[in-house]
Amino acid sequence: MLLRALAKQDYDQIVQVIDRWSGGPTSTLVHPLFFYELGQLALVVERDTQLVGFLFGFITTSKPPIGYIHLLGIHPEFRRRGIGRLLYAKFEEDSRMCGCTTLKAMTTPGNESALAFHKALGFTVELLEDYAGPERPRVVFAKNL
């Protein structure tokens, strides 16, 4: 497994596979903003040149800054092999270097694998009913560094 910075060819590939990997239409979440403007800390994992995982994360401008994980995706045939854990460990290290004291991420209610993953990595879990607007609940994950 090779962990490295995400490049344009990876971005192009991710927009094509993300709906399949996440089991539904999610390609809008891979907004170009997260590559061109906020992509300096984005990461991929490849095995024998095959893309098997990605993480889009960035550092917020709040004081203190937060390491925010916007998107994490693992190839369905490569799950439960520690790839998500590897990507989060590197992003956590980068976030610490940038002075972050917290990591944060979120998902929609019912995403049980994301819930189990974040709990396993020591994140707190909070269901907030109007987090994304009226009647748009989200599960918010946070971890103190």
Kindly list the residues in this chain that would bind ligand COA in the complex (CB under 6 A).
Answer: 22, 72-74, 79-85, 105, 107, 111, 113-114, 116-117, 120
Q: In the bound complex, which residue of the shown chain has the CB atom lying closest to ligand COA? A: 84
* Pairing of β 102-107 and β 66-74: parallel
Minimum gap (Å) between residue 29 Cβ and ligand COA: 9
Q: Collapsing DSSP states into helix, strand and coil, what is residue 70?
A: strand
- Closest CB to ligand COA among residues 121, 145: 121
Residues contacting 24, CB < 8 A, separation 6+: none
Minimum gap (Å) between residue 2 Cβ and ligand COA: 15
Minimum gap (Å) between residue 5 Cβ and ligand COA: 19
Phi and psi, residue 124, nearest 5°: -80, 155
